[in-house]
Structure 1
């Protein structure tokens, strides 16, 4: 049976031996430089199979994806958070996966959305997708999630977001700010490092990473004002927990770099 034939079936229909081999092939294909193999085939299969894996298999797959954060292949690093997000949605999360992710996300240097040979890479957006998914995971402390999003935004880069990465990070922050266990102070404290950077700015061309941050906060303002929808569902928008305080803090922060707002 070819890998393509394996992927066409349901994982529950495979024998134990074939199932183990199929999962090994899936892990390998998730770092393939061929986007038709990695994105169109392996990731789609992973998203379909993960809910039907047993807990030990999901744990092992998560361990393998966490190890990919230090892989030399860019596409392996950038697809790891997507697969981990699907594992979290299936109810599995290990604290052992947090540190590899948190070390990688702000440190990744190649933030291109798309490469003609490798296809979609989207490190900033895919990391944000994992943050957004973790925001709804029971027992997850929301503060480190927001702080990690800020670390990504404030990490110097010459790459200007060009594939809606700012929207995806804003969405993740909005999901984090929707957590009911956040206090009003916690809902705005994550903005202070950004405000400090903005206050220290000097006249001249706006660095790409500052522009990325400003655009992210603008989209976040819209999401906080309008409410946050769960993607691919008909659920009504969910309000952030401390809407008024967050809107005021966002406006104050943006006014630092756009004083005509005041």
Structure 2
């Protein structure tokens, strides 16, 4: 077994004499650990660094991505959630994306029922946030239709029987949607029509406690309105405007208005 703490101490420089395929396999297995130090601080940090810096060669990216896509069916939430995070690194830093990964992600994301952000024993789980990161970068990839990711975001928002998100999952999903809305060539209809099912749900609300998924939706769309107004940060020094800024702002305002008719 590799001394990953020693590797961490060396800023995740690959250990001398180590076989990269074997080391990647070891890290992939560690990603399923219920121990957040093993999973997050060591395995994910090392693997993300190696993917980003090109230590993981091109020929290993697709087998690794296939493993992650298969993990959306795993029994453990940390395994499912961190699979999305690793796929996001592959897509965003190396530009590699396979249709089968998108299909697997789409089947999983809106259906995921364990939406805890942080657990005292398991650490960060963040299925909504990790999935949002992948959704946003898939929505920018040339091989993925942006409307498909916008519709998936709508489905995630409206999935019933969810807890109220508490660890900025709404902010992460809003930012992901905003990234997709910066996609060059996005049509005005695609930039706004994904909100139609959301509008229907919000307009049909009844008196009484606000359902969790409605609360999550409202907070996500309000953050999205702010982001669309200000521009979407896609890097440390890069803020990008959405393609149909005025139309999106108008549609968001119209969708949100029935919930608080007495306010504005």
TM-score of the pair, normalised by structure 2 = 0.93
For the residues of structure 2 that align with 1:192 and 1:99, how far apart are their CA atoms? 23
Q: Which residue of 1 aligns with 2:2?
A: 2
For the residues of structure 1 that align with 2:16 and 2:234, how far apart are their CA atoms? 31
2:146–2:183 Cα contact (<8 Å) kept: yes
Q: Which residue of 2 aligns with 1:145?
A: 149
For the residues of structure 2 that align with 1:136 and 1:98, how far apart are their CA atoms? 13
Name which of structure 1's ranges 95-104 and 112-121 shifts more when overlaid on structure 2.
95-104
For the residues of structure 1 that align with 2:21 and 2:233, how far apart are their CA atoms? 37
Q: Which residue of 2 aligns with 1:258?
A: 260
Give 3-state SS (helix, strand or coil) of 2:226's partner.
helix
Instruction: Give the direction of change, closer, same or farther, for the CA distance of 1:193–1:77 in structure 2 (3 Å limit).
Output: same
Q: Alpha-carbon deviation of 1:13? A: 5.5
Q: Alpha-carbon deviation of 1:33? A: 0.5
* Residues 74-108 of structure 1: CA deviation (Å, up to 9, x unaligned): 10001111100100021111111112111111111
Q: Which residue of 2 aligns with 1:213?
A: 217
Q: Which residue of 1 aligns with 2:36?
A: 35
> Which of 108, 132, 143 is the matching residue for 1:104?
108
Name which of structure 1's ranges 176-185 and 40-49 shifts more when overlaid on structure 2.
176-185
How many aligned positions are there? 258
Say whether 1:182 aligns with 2:183: no
> Which of 240, 243, 257 is the matching residue for 1:241?
243
Q: Which residue of 1 aligns with 2:27?
A: 26
> Which of 113, 123, 128 is the matching residue for 2:127?
123
Name which of structure 1's ranges 25-34 and 130-139 shifts more when overlaid on structure 2.
130-139
For the residues of structure 2 that align with 1:24 and 1:12, how far apart are their CA atoms? 14
For the residues of structure 2 that align with 1:177 and 1:162, how far apart are their CA atoms? 25
For the residues of structure 2 that align with 1:123 and 1:181, how far apart are their CA atoms? 29
Instruction: Give the direction of change, closer, same or farther, for the CA distance of 1:143–1:13 in structure 2 (3 Å limit).
Output: farther
Instruction: Give the direction of change, closer, same or farther, for the CA distance of 1:242–1:12 in structure 2 (3 Å limit).
Output: farther
Give 3-state SS (helix, strand or coil) of 1:229's partner.
strand
The RMSD of aligned alpha carbons is 1.6
Instruction: Give the direction of change, closer, same or farther, for the CA distance of 1:257–1:92 in structure 2 (3 Å limit).
Output: same
Q: Which residue of 2 aligns with 1:191?
A: 195
Instruction: Give the direction of change, closer, same or farther, for the CA distance of 1:137–1:11 in structure 2 (3 Å limit).
Output: farther
For the residues of structure 1 that align with 2:261 and 2:144, how far apart are their CA atoms? 37
For the residues of structure 2 that align with 1:229 and 1:98, how far apart are their CA atoms? 24
1:6–1:22 Cα contact (<8 Å) kept: no
Say whether 1:84 aligns with 2:87: yes
Q: Alpha-carbon deviation of 1:10? A: 3.5
For the residues of structure 1 that align with 2:16 and 2:97, how far apart are their CA atoms? 25
Structure 1 unmatched ranges of 5 or more: none
2:113–2:162 Cα contact (<8 Å) kept: no
